[in-house]
């Protein structure tokens, strides 16, 4: 029995030490998350090093190569201006990530603060904020973004359209606020929050210093999940002609314009940008889901 | 100008179709005339835009013309199947005095308005006076075209006389045969000069039935129309739909025609989808894609900078390549390529931006920018978020990058685009211009000073250019007038306030069953539908 007991104990201890490393633990417990992470990593590397690794200039027109099918010279083919689609997808990752990350980060941060404050104050203030959120949530995400784009127009600063980011951020705020408020309602009842209140700390301090760190888990999951939503929204707005302008490489934009006219004769014009959007959204969603499962203590028991 | 309508297949799909309509086109418009017209039927056609007004006098858009033209008549009209030949419409005959200062029109008798009242010279006078001196609350888009008219007289009910203060070599095209100069009822105008803005009542082949905004516009045959045997149709129905929906609607036979035009890719999809029922007609288009520079902003106040940016555009390559993916195709100066006033290829090549040696052009462009002190120029391009503007914009940005110019593109919605132009809020703007006749007097105002063409995008003052325009308008000798047009063109390209990139190619696809409609280089003509019939 002793021997058996020792035999069963040793591997357990080894496994635990090995899995004490959170990265390894995540990799082992969330293989789909790792797959998503790899997709995201490829996207990030493409975006950062596009200048070095992309085979062509993303803006250069080459009429000799107009509508060329996939080949060794152009693995993803070319568009109606002879521009290399692989190159434009690599540079398009830059647009998607920049807008996706900034919009998601700002939207989730504002949403988290609003949600926590609403939960903390409760009462009539919570009711007013929640009805406002209900109102915003009643609009489909794309409709709300379209309304914002139509209202604020365009405002490019340093090559980034701030109003487009604003249009994508606004629909994220109420969704993030609703999720964080749920977490905030239970945190509000915690003894340390009562203690902070009893100690005379200001409401701002209690919300930001004592409650906010405790919703970091759901917040990170939200940011990751909404990057995917923001990428999809940016692609949708660009497809509708309300997002990024030509000739900036952007995945949604690559699906619009002449692509609609040539999708039958040159299907690669829509196939590869469409796949890029799907993969990016899929990758971020896998990472988000994996993070949620990994951080949720109930799923670890 | 004689327009070649021979079909030019450019894609495999077109070649494969082998449709009967194309065979017809190869023989020219006369082929249609040989068929025996059939009476009856309702023509359904698609229109991509809603009319902002019903008033032809105050409009410039096809959205108004193609709906409203079937309800009205004009003094003269362009003869069906024989563009640009002009024949009488309300006028039975007309004469011009040898000095060119008096034009007399004899009107038909027995012409009735849709309300049953007779049309007389008083109606013609009232209509032209409304264009010439628009009352308060009335917009006249062609007031300038009657600038040389000293008086309009109606000595008897069937005679109308235009007395001129100076010779106008384009009077017949620009004034008498203009499809915009519809004849309204004097009685209605007397009660309310703004009446035609929201009401329809003319002497045209079709009576107005209804307009449901965003949906449709319906007309029915006017049985007392003055041209015996016309119209041939029982009525028409203009349906509002997007260009993308129009392609599907034509394939699905929900509509029988669209008269403005399609892109080459849309044409190919239509031919493939419609098969033998597709009739394709192609030709030049009195429509040019331009860029205009804002001379109120530095460095665009410097002609060297404007000329350098025009020089950098490889129009010859653009013609070959953009013509495959858009309606941008023909290379031309200020007059329509292939038209009687157009520059020859040799004449064009001498103009800045039209030479075929692009290496030399770009070297010269860089030299000019350096000389102007703006080697690393950064500019904002204001573009309109529709095709083929977007295509032209992508091409331009690439061309300017090749001489070291960095471009920030801004594709604006139509309303914002108009507002930016009106407010001079642009560096460089993508623009276009169209009219219904290849006459220099109607075609050249686009390139004039702001005080001569108030809606111009670039607000500049160039007396030399304006003087050349005035001289060509007064020249009775065609050779002399052509010389003046060439001088105007050279000055336009050198100063480069506004320069053409390429001219559009008109591609019309309709059901083969639609007969009697005349293809022309403008989508503003032959829209009264009197001679159209359905086989």
Choose from A80, A153, A253 for mutation: most chain B CBs within 10 A: A80
B62: pLDDT strictly greater than 60: yes
Of B324, B326, B395, the CB nearest to A66: B324
Size of interface A-B (CB pairs under 8 A): 61
B118: pLDDT strictly greater than 50: yes
Distance from CA of B325 to the nearest CA of A (A): 7
Percentage of residues of chain A with pLDDT beyond 70: 90
Q: Which residues of A touch B385 (CB under 8 A)?
A: 241
Average pLDDT over residues B338-364: 94
Q: Which residues of A touch B398 (CB under 8 A)?
A: 59-61, 81, 247
Helix (H) or strand (E) holding B316, with range, is helix B315-325
Distance from CA of A207 to the nearest CA of B (A): 42
pTM of the model: 0.81
Distance from CA of B408 to the nearest CA of A (A): 8
Given pLDDT bands bounded at 50, 70 and 90, which one contains residue A15?
Answer: low
Picking from A18-32, B56-70, B155-169, B224-238, which range would have the lowest pLDDT averaged per residue?
A18-32
Cβ within 8 Å, pair B398-A60: yes
- Whether B91 and B176 have beta carbons less than 8 Å apart is answered as yes
Nearest CA-CA partner of B329 in B83, B507, B510: B507
Query: Residue B260's pLDDT is what?
Result: 93
Choose from A146, A237, A246 for mutation: most chain B CBs within 10 A: A246
Of A66, A153, A257, the CB nearest to B416: A153
Given pLDDT bands bounded at 50, 70 and 90, which one contains residue A1?
Answer: very low
Radius of gyration, alpha carbons of chain B: 23
Check residues B429 and A16 and name the one with the higher pLDDT: B429
| Residues contacting B79, CB < 8 A, separation 6+ | B85, B86, B87
B108: pLDDT strictly greater than 80: yes
Q: Residue A97 class from Cβ within 10 Å (0-12 exposed, 13-18 middle, 19+ buried)? A: buried
Radius of gyration, alpha carbons of chain A: 24
Average pLDDT over residues B438-448: 89
Give the tens place of pLDDT for each residue, B402-437: 999 999 998 888 778 888 888 888 999 999 998 888
Nearest CA in chain A to B272: A264
Query: Residue B241's pLDDT is what?
Result: 93
Average pLDDT over residues A181-188: 89
- Whether A211 and A184 have beta carbons less than 8 Å apart is answered as yes
Query: Residue B232's pLDDT is what?
Result: 97
Q: Which two tokens stand for residue A33?
A: 């998350």
B197: pLDDT strictly greater than 80: yes
Cβ atoms within 10 Å, residue B386: 14
Given pLDDT bands bounded at 50, 70 and 90, which one contains residue B277?
Answer: very high
Distance from CA of A60 to the nearest CA of B (A): 6
Q: Which residues of A touch B409 (CB under 8 A)?
A: 245-248
Picking from B142-146, B311-315, B499-503, which range would have the lowest pLDDT averaged per residue?
B142-146
Percentage of residues of chain B with pLDDT beyond 90: 75
Q: Which residues of A touch B412 (CB under 8 A)?
A: 154
Q: Which residues of A touch B317 (CB under 8 A)?
A: 63
Cβ within 8 Å, pair A81-B385: no
Cβ within 8 Å, pair A257-B387: yes
Cβ within 8 Å, pair B266-A262: no
B252: pLDDT strictly greater than 80: yes
Query: Residue B19's pLDDT is what?
Result: 40
Cβ within 8 Å, pair B320-A63: yes
Cβ within 8 Å, pair A156-B410: yes
Compute the distance between CA of residue B143 and CA of residue B134 in angstroms, rounded to an integer. Answer: 8
Give the tens place of pLDDT for each residue, A72-88: 999 999 999 999 999 99
Q: Which residues of B touch A245 (CB under 8 A)?
A: 409-411
Cβ atoms within 10 Å, residue A18: 11
Given pLDDT bands bounded at 50, 70 and 90, which one contains residue A159?
Answer: low
- Kindly list the residues of chain B whose beta carbon comes within 8 Å of any beta carbon in chain A: 13, 244, 263, 265-266, 268-269, 317, 320-321, 324-326, 385, 387, 390-391, 393-395, 397-398, 401, 408-412, 416
Give the tens place of pLDDT for each residue, A211-270: 888 888 888 888 988 998 898 888 888 888 788 888 989 998 898 877 878 888 899 999
Of B321, B390, B412, the CB nearest to A246: B390
A2: pLDDT strictly greater than 60: no
Of B321, B390, B410, the CB nearest to A63: B321
pLDDT averaged over chain A?
86
B1: pLDDT strictly greater than 70: no
Percentage of residues of chain A with pLDDT beyond 90: 41
Check residues B90 and A186 and name the one with the higher pLDDT: B90
Query: Residue A256's pLDDT is what?
Result: 84
B25: pLDDT strictly greater than 50: no
| Residues contacting B422, CB < 8 A, separation 6+ | none
Q: Among B22-31, B164-173, B222-231, name the most confident range.
A: B222-231
Query: Residue B473's pLDDT is what?
Result: 87
Query: Residue B445's pLDDT is what?
Result: 87
- Whether B198 and B54 have beta carbons less than 8 Å apart is answered as yes
Cβ within 8 Å, pair A60-B325: no
Helix pair angle (A162-188, A216-239), 10° resolution: 150
Query: Residue B227's pLDDT is what?
Result: 95
Nearest CA in chain B to A239: B385
How far CA B184 is from CA of B70, B74, B126, B128, B147, in Å, comes to 13, 9, 8, 9, 20
A99: pLDDT strictly greater than 60: yes
Cβ within 8 Å, pair B390-A63: no
| HEC assignment per residue over B118-166 | ECCHHHHHHHHHHHHCCCCCCCCCCHHHHCCEEEEEEEECCEEEEEECC
Nearest CA-CA partner of B428 in B288, B287, B295: B295
- Whether B17 and B331 have beta carbons less than 8 Å apart is answered as no
Compute the distance between CA of residue A71 and CA of residue B13 in angstroms, rounded to an integer. Answer: 24
Distance from CA of B217 to the nearest CA of A (A): 28
Of A59, A156, A262, the CB nearest to B265: A262
Cβ within 8 Å, pair B269-A264: yes
A24: pLDDT strictly greater than 50: yes
Of A59, A257, A260, the CB nearest to B398: A59
Query: Residue B15's pLDDT is what?
Result: 40
Cβ within 8 Å, pair A245-B409: yes
């Amino acid at each position: 029995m002793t021997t058996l007991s020792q035999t069963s104990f040793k591997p357990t201890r080894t496994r635990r030490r090995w899995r004490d490393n959170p990265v390894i633990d995540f990799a082992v417990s969330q293989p789909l998350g790792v797959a998503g992470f790899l997709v995201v990593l490829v996207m990030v590397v493409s975006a950062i090093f596009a200048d070095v690794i992309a085979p062509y200039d993303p803006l250069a027109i080459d009429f000799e190569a107009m509508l060329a099918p996939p080949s060794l010279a152009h693995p993803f083919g070319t568009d109606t201006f002879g521009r290399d689609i692989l190159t434009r997808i690599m540079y398009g990752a830059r647009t998607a990530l920049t807008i996706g990350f900034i919009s998601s980060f700002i939207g989730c941060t504002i949403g988290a603060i609003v949600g926590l404050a609403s939960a903390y104050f409760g009462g009539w203030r919570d009711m007013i904020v929640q009805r406002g959120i209900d109102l915003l949530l009643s609009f489909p995400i794309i409709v709300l973004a379209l309304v914002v784009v139509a209202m604020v127009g365009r405002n490019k600063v340093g090559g980034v359209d701030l109003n487009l980011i604003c249009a994508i951020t606004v629909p994220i705020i109420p969704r993030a606020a609703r999720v964080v408020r749920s977490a905030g309602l239970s945190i509000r009842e915690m003894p340390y929050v009562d203690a902070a209140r009893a100690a005379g700390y200001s409401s701002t301090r209690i919300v930001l210093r004592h409650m906010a760190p405790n919703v970091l888990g759901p917040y990170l999951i939200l940011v990751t999940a909404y990057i995917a939503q923001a990428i999809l929204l940016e692609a949708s707005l660009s497809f509708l002609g309300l997002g990024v302008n030509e000739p900036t490489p952007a995945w949604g934009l690559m699906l619009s314009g002449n692509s609609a006219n040539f999708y039958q004769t040159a299907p690669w014009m829509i196939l590869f940008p469409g796949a890029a959007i799907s993969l990016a959204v899929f990758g971020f969603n896998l990472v988000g889901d994996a993070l949620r499962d990994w951080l949720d203590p109930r799923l670890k028991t | 100008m004689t327009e070649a309508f021979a079909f030019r297949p450019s894609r495999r799909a077109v070649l494969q179709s082998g449709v009967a309509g194309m065979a017809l086109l190869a023989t020219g418009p006369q082929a249609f005339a040989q068929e025996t017209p059939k009476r009856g039927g309702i023509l359904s056609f698609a229109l991509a835009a809603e009319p902002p007004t019903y008033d032809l006098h105050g409009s410039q858009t096809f959205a108004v013309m193609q709906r409203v033209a079937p309800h009205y008549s004009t003094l003269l009209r362009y003869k069906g199947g024989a563009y640009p030949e002009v024949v009488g419409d309300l006028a039975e005959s007309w004469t011009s005095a040898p000095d060119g200062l008096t034009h007399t029109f004899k009107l038909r008798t027995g012409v009735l308005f849709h309300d049953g009242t007779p049309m007389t010279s008083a109606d013609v006078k009232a209509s032209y006076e409304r264009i010439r001196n628009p009352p308060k609350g009335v917009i006249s888009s062609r007031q300038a075209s009657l600038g040389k008219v000293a008086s309009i007289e109606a000595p008897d009910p069937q005679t109308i006389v235009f007395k001129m203060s100076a010779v106008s070599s384009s009077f017949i095209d620009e004034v008498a045969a203009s499809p915009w100069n519809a004849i309204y009822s004097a009685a209605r105008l007397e009660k309310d000069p703004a009446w035609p803005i929201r009401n329809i009542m003319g002497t045209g082949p079709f009576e107005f039935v209804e307009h449901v905004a965003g949906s449709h516009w319906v007309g029915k045959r006017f049985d007392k129309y003055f041209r015996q045997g016309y119209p041939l149709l029982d009525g028409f129905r203009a349906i509002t739909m997007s260009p993308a929906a129009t392609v599907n609607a034509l394939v699905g036979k929900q509509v029988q025609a669209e008269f403005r035009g399609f892109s080459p890719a849309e044409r190919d999809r239509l031919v493939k989808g419609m098969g033998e029922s597709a009739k394709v007609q192609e030709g030049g288009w009195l429509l040019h894609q331009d860029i205009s520079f804002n001379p109120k902003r530095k460095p665009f106040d410097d002609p060297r900078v404007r000329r350098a940016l025009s020089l950098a555009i490889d129009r010859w390559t653009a013609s070959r390549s953009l013509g495959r993916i858009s309606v941008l195709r023909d290379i031309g100066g200020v007059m329509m390529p292939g038209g009687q006033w157009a520059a020859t290829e040799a004449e064009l090549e001498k103009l800045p931006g039209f030479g075929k040696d692009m290496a030399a052009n770009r070297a010269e462009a860089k030299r000019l920018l350096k000389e102007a002190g703006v080697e690393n120029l950064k500019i904002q391009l204001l573009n309109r978020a529709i095709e083929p503007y977007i295509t032209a914009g992508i091409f331009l940005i690439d061309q300017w990058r090749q001489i070291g110019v960095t471009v920030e593109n801004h594709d604006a919605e139509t309303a914002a685009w108009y507002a930016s132009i009106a407010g001079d809020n642009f560096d460089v703007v993508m623009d276009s211009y169209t009219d219904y006749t290849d006459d220099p007097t109607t075609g050249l105002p686009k390139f004039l000073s702001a005080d001569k063409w108030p809606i111009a995008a670039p607000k500049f003052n160039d007396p030399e250019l304006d003087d050349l325009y005035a001289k060509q308008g007064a020249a009775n000798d065609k050779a002399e007038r052509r010389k003046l047009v060439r001088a105007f063109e050279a000055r336009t390209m050198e100063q480069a306030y506004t320069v053409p990139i390429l001219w559009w190619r008109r591609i019309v696809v309709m059901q083969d069953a639609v007969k009697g409609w005349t293809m022309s280089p403008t989508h503003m003509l032959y829209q009264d539908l009197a001679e159209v019939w359905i086989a």
